[in-house]
Amino acid sequence: MGAGYQVVYGDLGDLAGAFTAESEEFAGLRPRMAPAPVDGGDATLNAGIAAVLSLFASLNAGISAAMDEHGVKLRECHDDYKENDSDVVALYNKVMGEA
């Protein structure tokens, strides 16, 4: 680790949980972001409205999936730091025990 850099496990864990929870919350907004299309009175206009609403739904799905993926990666980062820290402590204890 760099000088003055300290990983705080709780913060990584909290951030991972927040990303995961908020991805579900954001995905829940999909029906409001892409409601059923209305009849504009013209087939071309109706197709355009439906396409835009479909795009909103796709964007919502993509963003919520990306947020969830960030949550998973943050959780993995948290777990890796904790595991590596445990390995360093175990190595230190072993070296000190043999000294």
Tens-digit pLDDT string for the chain (99 aa): 445 556 687 888 899 999 999 999 999 999 898 888 889 999 999 999 999 999 999 999 999 999 999 999 999 988 888 887 777 777 777 777 776
For 26, residues 6+ apart whose C-beta sits below 8 A from its C-beta are 60, 63, 64, 67
DSSP 78-98: HHHHHHHHHHHHHHHHHHHHH
What pTM did the predictor assign? 0.72
- Phi/psi region, residue 4 (left: phi>0; alpha: psi -120 to 50; beta: rest), is left
